Amino acid sequence: MSDERLIQVLRSLPLFAKHFLKIRAKSGAIEPFIFNRAQEYIHERLEAQKLKTGRVRALILKGRQQGCSTYVQGRDFHLVGTTQGKKAFILTHEAEATKNLFEMTKRFYDTLPEGLLPKPDTSSAKELNFRSLNSGYAVGTAGNKSVGRSQTIQIFHGSEVGYWPNAEEHAKGILQAVPNENGTEIILESTANGIGNYFYNMWMSAVTGESDFQAIFIPWYWQPEYACDLREGEGVNLSDEEDAIFVNHYADGLRKEHLYWRRKKLLDFSNDHETAVELFNVEYPITALDAFRNPVADRFIRAEMVNRARKNRVETESPLVIGIDPAISDHDRTAIIRRKGRLAYKMETHFNLNTMELVGLIRRLIDKERPAKVCIDCIGIGAGIVDRLKEIGYDMVEGVNVARTANDKDKFRNLRAELWHDMRDWLSQELPVQIPDSDELLGDLTSLGYKYDSSARLLIESKVDLRKRGMKSPDTADALALTFFVGDYYQQGGFEVNRIPDKASGMFT
């Protein structure tokens, strides 16, 4: 290889990997590291971000054995071995994973052509240092809260972050050791481990644009080995569920061979189809939303009925009912949603509004949209909001105390349980219903568990218990549930023009 060509190869990670790095394939054979589709996609996304911002900040959500960790390890090794002043640190979820990733890096070095890179000055079970380059590489396991905290690093790779114990502590420590400067990289990758944990929260912040991290998702069907021979599926028709998946993802490369493989794989998880699908989606997600399975075993509302409602299209002439779950704290949202019979639409959320700002917001909403009823949770700050709106003449406003006794007190522990029950029945009815096509609403609707008390009355998981599991309040779902305070199909009442309250009617005479 000419010197000019060698320089070109050394500067390009895909070429460097293909010509010089060796990996252990799934078959056990040692082979050249040639990127698969997932690795190519990750590389393109990271390089585009690096070109635009000067640094890499990325979250990678993946399925099983798609080569994401291998790619990041190869990337880190390439940077450490060919660049001056790069210290890399890799943190994994368990000791065995730490050992495996470091062995991968050792193999990268041990199989290099002689003299291509300088010899390491330190080579142990957890470190590889090149003093002449002022570069190095070290690994650790996330069980120790202080691991890596004293490091000065430019490259950080967090592996299986969804399974880190003490994840918040590590975020406060080792992630802060990476300066926010050009040439630095933080890559966090993981399979999903439910919702409400550190990785999930980081993912949601990236998706909504609240952080500098980009969210990179890798669907399982990009792996060619996750497919059956088409002949095995001859004469087998796709189910309605499989056909919907096929239509939605065909353009991205999904084929019937993949769905036949999925059908067989589901049997490995459970004989119950819905349970099997949920477990499969964690290990082999087809979308990011599928990956984050709710860790509650007994969820009150299943994702299947919610996703169906997200795709429906319904027309209705029913009166407008608006549900509002108000909040003024940092961690809760004020959630507002509209419903006309079988159609729920135009969901919105607001943060950090004070009581008077919320009153003004709701007044403008009522004046513009002319609802028949506005149902507001009147526990806490909601009571003052309801009182003020009624005081200034908005009689369509209804304060709803969800903690009070249910209308059917023999079946439900409180009104909240009754409203959520009515909402679930609405979602599962034979006639189609439509809700906003929102991941946020899906997460809130499917977040709560349930149980029955000693009197066989339904009890929905409380917001306090939800926070103990590290999850946010389901504000958007609570707002939708409030609309059922007036029944499924509200037919009475209507908008009335603002009037002067009776007690003030003589003040201008």
Q: Specify the domain boundaries for CATH 3.30.420.240 within the chain.
A: 308-486
Could you name the CATH architecture of 3-218?
3-Layer(aba) Sandwich (3.40)
d(C-alpha 509, C-alpha 500), whole Å: 13
pLDDT score of 508: 34
Which residue carries 């009147």 as its tokens? 378
Percent of the chain with pLDDT over 70: 89
Give the pLDDT confidence of 47-82 residue by residue, as tens digits: 999 999 999 999 999 988 889 999 999 999 999 888
Give the pLDDT confidence of 349-364 residue by residue, as tens digits: 998 889 999 999 999 9
Residues of the chain with pLDDT under 50: 494-509
Backbone CA torsion sign across 435, 438, 444, 447: positive
d(C-alpha 130, C-alpha 78), whole Å: 13
CB of 381 closer than 8 Å to CB of 324: no
The structure's pTM equals: 0.64
Give the pLDDT confidence of 378-412 residue by residue, as tens digits: 998 999 999 999 999 999 999 999 999 999 999 99
Alpha helix positions (H), 184-296: 198-207, 240-249, 256-269, 273-283, 288-291
Q: What CATH number should be reported for the domain whose range is 308-486?
A: 3.30.420.240
Tell me phi and psi for residue 174, to 5 degrees: -65, -35
Stated as kind and residue range, the H or E segment containing 314 is none
Name the packing angle between helices 68-82 and 37-53 (round to 10°): 50
Q: Specify the domain boundaries for CATH 3.40.50.300 within the chain.
A: 3-218
Give the pLDDT confidence of 275-323 residue by residue, as tens digits: 788 788 888 998 887 787 655 556 788 888 898 999 999 999 899 999 9
Backbone CA torsion sign across 146, 147, 149, 155: negative
Contacts of 314 (CB under 8 A, 6+ apart): 342, 343, 432, 433, 434
